[in-house]
Structure 1
Amino acid sequence: MSATATAAAVFASSPATRSPGHLPTRKPRNPIFHGNRFASSSSSRSSSLLGRAFFITNRSIHGSTTRRSSLSTTGIRPFSPVMEWQDCTVKMEMDVPISVAYECYSDRESIPRWMPFISSVKILEDKPDLSRWSLKYKAFGQDIEYSWLARNMQPTPNQKIHWRSLEGLPNRGAVRFYPKGPSSCIVELTVSYEVPQLLVPVASALQPFLESLLRRGLERFAVFAKSN
């Protein structure tokens, strides 16, 4: 083959002169985060960046005063710790008609008479759907005291009463009434609450403790309702 023919063959096989249909297929790099600029298959770089994100998150959770709003090179954003919510549900059969149980529970200002940890409930004169609640109780070696403003949501007569806090201690709940017979019913009380910062160390013990208080409250409520 002549030098001219050899040069022509080499030029024809060059990638720059191949047709699109004959271009070699390149395997895409495996991105760690889809949808942003960070995409690398380097395990060392990935470990470094993920470790950096964990460090920032860990500092945020443990209350460090040094905070960073974002990592512009990776798109990783530290998150603020979210307080844990817990739910407690207790129910009890009572020897009172469902209408009596519903009417007694609707009297919010009477709740401290039978709920152990509620010290006072005051309905706002100008807004009867709002009420101020105070909680006082000694537990876990501490004097626990909280207050909140609650709104009674639209009730379903003889079936459901429910509320949510607007300010103060975050909580919400519902009381449901189920007929059992002409002179008896089942009352089910559910309370959901955000664990206060003060009680985070005992959060695992808080739920069964509150459940026992709510059960004791329903027992006293059954006596209260029967006497009315």
Structure 2
Amino acid sequence: MTAMLSGPTSLTCFVRARKGVSFPHQKHHFPGRATFLNPPLSSVMSRSSAYGRMSMKKKPKIAPRKPLSPVMEWQDCSSVIEADVPCSVAYECYSNKELIPKWMPFISSVEVQKDKPDVSRWSLKYEIFGRYVEFSWLARNMQPIPNQKIHWRSLEGLSNRGAVRFYPRGPSSCRIELTVSYEVPEILSPIAAALKPFLEGLLQGGLERFVQFAREYEKKVPQS
């Protein structure tokens, strides 16, 4: 049985429809056939081009993280003592750096450079909380204030700086203040919290021995 066609539909359209071909933007109804609907060609192309652009996008490169450099901890220690010797005597005794190991128990030696009297080599050897430690550093004495202040800073080795200040209390007495700042060595970082009071106790004991040393020194100095 031959299908009847009506309206402007031609035989060519009927043949194309039989083969599954349809025209853009038109619906074609044929007996016994499904309805064919073609979307606009421009819509198909725009979607495909959009997907193509998305697929070609490159992922942003993430720069590798640099390892953080450890920040070393600095601590400040201080000690104060009243000495029954004049400021001039205390200042003169402390100015002789090579005598410091006589009253500072943790300083094993101080060697003044022959060609640079303001530069000295220091060595520290001591047992701290059951751990024997040894450090050394090169230090430079900054411009002093006679009978008032001696201060220094390290040039290499164990990083530290400090000052000794002398305050007159009368013609035969003075107040001595010692302050030391140092970078906590990595080997002692686990006990950094307990290190400060421990070293302040050492400094206090050192100043007490220094006062005794200054008294003996004053007795040996001829009175003018």
> Which residue of 1 is the match for residue 65 of structure 2?
68
> Which residue of 2 is the match for residue 207 of structure 1?
196
Residue 171 (1) aligns with residue 168 (2): no
Aligned equivalents of 2:164, 2:65: Cα separation in 1: 44
Query: 3-state DSSP class of the match of 1:198?
Result: helix
> Which residue of 1 is the match for residue 179 of structure 2?
190
Query: 3-state DSSP class of the match of 1:145?
Result: strand
Match of 1:150 among 139, 146, 166: 139
Query: 3-state DSSP class of the match of 2:117?
Result: coil
Shift of 1:79: 4.1
Aligned equivalents of 1:68, 1:166: Cα separation in 2: 33
TM-score for both structures, normalised by structure 1: 0.66
Runs of 4+ in 1 over 2 A off after TM superposition: 78-81
Query: 3-state DSSP class of the match of 1:157?
Result: coil
Residue 118 (1) aligns with residue 111 (2): no
Aligned equivalents of 1:133, 1:81: Cα separation in 2: 26
Shift of 1:126: 0.6
1:1-228 alignment, distance < 5 Å: 68-69=65-66, 79-228=68-217
CA displacement, residues 73-110 of structure 1 (integer Å, 9 cap, x when unaligned): xxxxx642210000001110000000000000000000
Aligned equivalents of 1:94, 1:141: Cα separation in 2: 32
Shift of 1:179: 0.4
Shift of 1:139: 1.4
Q: Which runs of 5+ in 2 are unaligned?
A: 1-63, 218-224
Aligned equivalents of 2:147, 2:215: Cα separation in 1: 16
Q: Which runs of 5+ in 1 are unaligned?
A: 1-66, 70-77
Query: 3-state DSSP class of the match of 1:227?
Result: helix
> Which residue of 1 is the match for residue 42 of structure 2?
none
TM-score for both structures, normalised by structure 2: 0.67
Aligned equivalents of 2:103, 2:79: Cα separation in 1: 15
Aligned equivalents of 1:211, 1:166: Cα separation in 2: 23
CA displacement, residues 152-202 of structure 1 (integer Å, 9 cap, x when unaligned): 000000110000000000000000000001000000000000000000000
CA-based RMSD: 1.4
Letter in 1 for 2:75: Q
Shift of 1:215: 0.1
Query: 3-state DSSP class of the match of 2:132?
Result: strand
Query: 3-state DSSP class of the match of 2:174?
Result: strand
Aligned equivalents of 2:113, 2:87: Cα separation in 1: 27
Letter in 2 for 1:215: Q
Aligned equivalents of 1:223, 1:204: Cα separation in 2: 31
Aligned residues: 155
Aligned equivalents of 2:94, 2:110: Cα separation in 1: 13
Aligned equivalents of 1:95, 1:227: Cα separation in 2: 12
